[in-house]
Structure 1
Amino acid sequence: MRIVKNMTNNGKKRMYCRVAAIITAAALFCVSEDAVSRRVLHVSGHEKIFVPAVSDGAQEKEAGEELQLYAQAAVLMDADSGRVLYGKNEEAKLPMASTTKIMTCILALEYGSPEEIVEVSSYAASMPKVKLYVKSGEKYYLRDLLYSLMLESHNDSAVVIAEAVGGSVEKFAAMMNQKARDIGCYDSYFITPNGLDAKVNETGKVHSTTAADLARIMAYCVTDSPEKERFLEITRTQGYDFTDVDGTRSFHCNNHNAFLGMMQEALSGKTGFTNNAGYCYVGAVESEGRIFTVALLACGWPNNRSYKWSDMKKLAVYGMERYQYRDIYEEQAFAAIPVRDGIAGEKGTPFEEAEVSVTLQAGEKSLPYLLCEDDRVEVKSRVEPVLDAPVAAGEEVGSVCYYLNGELIKSYTVCADEAIEKRSFPWIFIYILKLTFFL
């Protein structure tokens, strides 16, 4: 009997100890939770500056140096990023004449079929020079009229194409304006598919663009459009022969883009002229993996046809000599982040502070960007110093941002690598029970 009594007393003592442990742990949990809750969250960050050097062969130019250009409005653009590398009145809205036809061509390539047979309307046949002199009722393959459009700049061919692809000139103009908005050109307004001067009397809007928008449209045509290869094939063709569908009339078209023979880097381009617009040009050059687009508006009037070639060469050379690709990506490593009220893994205890590892979501660890000697790149990192549980796997906890001359050009997210569950009183209670009764 004495032995049994002693065992009972010992059991009671162990029970009292267990209860005391539970109460103590719960109290500690509450104190710990309260202490952590008073932590102040601060956003931390660091900043680095990357200043690239230009290649040895590049000619140095003073920052902000003015080029002497004939054009009233001009742009040199990096086709890859859309960044304006040099601008002169680049946001001024001006008529653009037949440079309009690059938009007509790319829409026809994207929404039409090369083998489609199109019929000439009386309205299309009535277009003024420059024209193919198609006749009402004649039929042509769409592909052939695209060469007529881009090599000889025929105004009647532009209308035939617009009516075939859009259903009418008005509907096709709506497609042109929508495409312009889609690629980020908000200061352009298209009325005609051939670039002839036009105005909407009800609104007062005129057929116009800006040098920046026109260069951006060309960049889309030669780098981003799913039909860029066919666009380049057409605009680089020197001569093209075709007939109407019946074979009763034959035609020959010569490419009037003389710039293709002026620089070996010349990639594509389109001329334009009306009495109101003056001489205009939009073109692209490619050198060592770099593609530049140039837009020139109001670049002289007769007899100054050659002004556009002078400006085009000057801007192309400026870009090729001054700008080089640099990889500005920086490897980033981040410490694990404490997680308030989080469970520290499967074997975590109530007294362990949970933390989660984080990773920069960069995909390819490369960020090539066209830069000149004067450019300044800043890399700013922002990661939360403390997180509140629960934390989901993949949850965004910070960012790394790249700024070029103060403007954001790229941002990456920093995400949690794993999920962290929230520590609660029921969880701590069950944990202590398991620890007390089963260990």
Structure 2
Amino acid sequence: MGIKKHNAAIKYIGVFLLTASVLLTNFYAVRAEDTGTVGTSAQAAAVIEQNSGRVLYNKNADQELPMASTTKIMTAAVALKYGNLSDVIEVSATAAGVEGSSMYLECGEKITLENLLYGLMLLSGNDAAVAIAEHIGGGVDGFVELMNKTASELGLSHTHFDNPNGLPSDTHYTTALELAKITRYAMSMPEFVQIVSTKSKTIPWEGKGYDRSMTNHNKLLGSLEGCIGVKTGFTKAAGRCLVSAVNRNDMTLICVTLNDPNDWADHASLQNSMFQKYSQNVLTSTEMIIDKISVAGGMLGYAGVSPNKTYTFPVCENDSVSVDTNVDSENMKFPIKSGDVVGTGTVTVNGENYGNFELLANSDIDLARPSKGSFWNDMKNDIVYVFQYWLSMFR
């Protein structure tokens, strides 16, 4: 991978400030809508990278569609946001009697929120969803308000929830891309990852002489390399819906398909293709020296400059990525101490701004003098300045 450094408006002054533009060439490109490399039978699909949120694959990803039990990704995320895993919940008759897929809760049964979440995500329990909603939201309606509030906080404008389990409703919908964003949010919670990556779980069953055993419906956990979740779904109205997350080589990809009759195979194909095409790259790191301040043209040494943020990004061979730095010479005050902000920088991918950061000095600069005048006058002054500096060391 080639790295080229382009200097912007370098001027010799008493304190020589280097403004650099670092161009990273031969990087890995990502198009916002990539449908040419691999196909899918899904009505809508999206693949995003977990860390950056970047869209790697997009097929009708903004089309509003029902999402069946993949709804429960948001249900679990809201439960983890507002509840405590150790909470003990008494199952109501309403929750125990809900239709559809079930973890077979019984009215009056006492069970922890943690175990309800396992039943929700492994067995797709609609009864678990209602029990959680009643506990966290004071009822299904209150919990649905929290779901929609969270969607709004995530900036989702094409998602609306009517219930916590995904049962059919005309105003219960999302898009492939927004469901991927919901999953990205949920996957930022370690407890969620722990639950959805579990292949099987045995929990106590109150009032029974045996335990409740649960096996995850997501068979990709055992068949797709690196799969760490997340959720299946099906209704006649929504068709087969599936969300998967796969981690390989320090990169996690989230794949969503809606109304896909061949979802297992499509996810394997999409995930494998995206991992083959894209890789995670460190664009900036707090340990990287990407610019420098030189005192008196370097005669008194240099102070390295590093970004205050680390940016990683999935890229492929056609991508254009640049990291541009600008030392703030106009407002710089001396002495400079290690950790002082001395400039700013930007990360640009294919002409679009991806991130901004500050530049921090890596070491102290105790003596420095602002420059005035012409090039030759500044050089003369710098020689005098250096001589005086060295003399001061022997006094």
Is residue 2:291 matched to residue 1:332? yes
Q: 2:268 aligns with which of 296, 313, 316?
A: 313
Q: How is 1:220-231 mapped onto 2 (pairs within 5 angstroms)?
A: 220-222=185-187, 224-225=188-189, 228=190, 230-231=191-192
Distance 2:233 2:85 in 1: 25
Is residue 2:230 matched to residue 1:269? yes
Q: 1:410 aligns with which of 355, 358, 361?
A: 355
How many matched pairs?
337
Q: How is 1:208-223 mapped onto 2 (pairs within 5 angstroms)?
A: 208-222=173-187
Distance 1:218 1:387 in 2: 43
- Name the structure 2 match of 1:203: none
Is residue 2:97 matched to residue 1:147? no
Q: 8 Å contact 2:51–2:252 — kept in the other structure?
A: yes
Deviation at 1:268, TM superposition (A): 0.9
Deviation at 1:70, TM superposition (A): 0.8
Given the superposition, is the C-alpha separation of residues 109 and 246 from structure 1 closer, same or farther in structure 2, using an over 3 Å criterion? farther
Letter aligned with residue 217 of structure 1: I
Distance 1:249 1:155 in 2: 22
Letter aligned with residue 373 of structure 1: E
Letter aligned with residue 289 of structure 1: D
Distance 2:35 2:94 in 1: 49
Q: How is 1:30-429 mapped onto 2 (pairs within 5 angstroms)?
A: 47-52=21-26, 65-199=36-170, 206-222=171-187, 224-225=188-189, 228=190, 230-247=191-208, 251-299=212-260, 304=261, 307-329=262-284, 331-334=290-293, 360=305, 362-363=307-308, 367-384=311-328, 386-387=330-331, 398-414=343-359
Distance 1:408 1:194 in 2: 38
Distance 1:363 1:415 in 2: 7
Letter aligned with residue 308 of structure 1: D
Tell me the percent identity: 33
Given the superposition, is the C-alpha separation of residues 112 and 376 from structure 1 closer, same or farther in structure 2, using an over 3 Å criterion? same
Q: 8 Å contact 2:120–2:126 — kept in the other structure?
A: yes
Distance 2:303 2:148 in 1: 44
The structure whose RCO (Cα within 8 Å, separation 6+) is larger is 2
Deviation at 1:190, TM superposition (A): 2.0
In the TM superposition, what whole-angstrom CA distance separates every residue of 1:303-340 from its partner, at most 9, and x where no partner exists? x3xx0112101111112111112233361124679xxx
Distance 2:27 2:351 in 1: 19
Letter aligned with residue 211 of structure 1: A
Q: 8 Å contact 2:332–2:342 — kept in the other structure?
A: no
Given the superposition, is the C-alpha separation of residues 327 and 149 from structure 1 closer, same or farther in structure 2, using an over 3 Å criterion? closer
Deviation at 1:400, TM superposition (A): 1.3
Given the superposition, is the C-alpha separation of residues 390 and 231 from structure 1 closer, same or farther in structure 2, using an over 3 Å criterion? closer
What's the C-alpha RMSD, in Å, of the aligned pairs?
Answer: 3.4
Classify the secondary structure of the residue corresponding to 2:291: coil
- Name the structure 2 match of 1:17: none
Q: 8 Å contact 2:75–2:147 — kept in the other structure?
A: yes
Given the superposition, is the C-alpha separation of residues 318 and 387 from structure 1 closer, same or farther in structure 2, using an over 3 Å criterion? same
Given the superposition, is the C-alpha separation of residues 254 and 397 from structure 1 closer, same or farther in structure 2, using an over 3 Å criterion? closer
Distance 1:415 1:293 in 2: 34
Given the superposition, is the C-alpha separation of residues 325 and 358 from structure 1 closer, same or farther in structure 2, using an over 3 Å criterion? same
In the TM superposition, what whole-angstrom CA distance separates every residue of 1:169-224 from its partner, at most 9, and x where no partner exists? 1221222223334444443222211111224xxxxxx21222122122222333x2
Q: 8 Å contact 1:52–1:326 — kept in the other structure?
A: no
Distance 2:196 2:317 in 1: 34
Using structure 1 for the length normalisation, give the TM-score: 0.67
Letter aligned with residue 291 of structure 2: Q
Deviation at 1:276, TM superposition (A): 1.5
Classify the secondary structure of the residue corresponding to 1:68: coil
Unaligned runs of 5+ in 1: 1-43, 55-62, 200-205, 338-356, 421-439
Letter aligned with residue 24 of structure 2: F
Distance 2:212 2:118 in 1: 11
Q: 8 Å contact 1:52–1:371 — kept in the other structure?
A: no
Given the superposition, is the C-alpha separation of residues 81 and 184 from structure 1 closer, same or farther in structure 2, using an over 3 Å criterion? farther
- Give 1 or 2 for the bigger CA radius of gyration: 1
Q: Which has the higher helix share?
A: 1
In the TM superposition, what whole-angstrom CA distance separates every residue of 1:219-275 from its partner, at most 9, and x where no partner exists? 2333x22xx1x3233223333334543447864322211111221211112100112
Letter aligned with residue 87 of structure 2: E
Distance 1:48 1:415 in 2: 17
Q: Which has the higher strand share?
A: 2
Between stretches 237-246 and 212-221, larger displacement belongs to: 237-246
Using structure 2 for the length normalisation, give the TM-score: 0.74
In the TM superposition, what whole-angstrom CA distance separates every residue of 1:89-130 from its partner, at most 9, and x where no partner exists? 222221111011122223323432333221222332332111
Letter aligned with residue 57 of structure 2: Y
Q: 8 Å contact 2:51–2:312 — kept in the other structure?
A: no
Distance 1:240 1:396 in 2: 50
Distance 2:203 2:311 in 1: 46
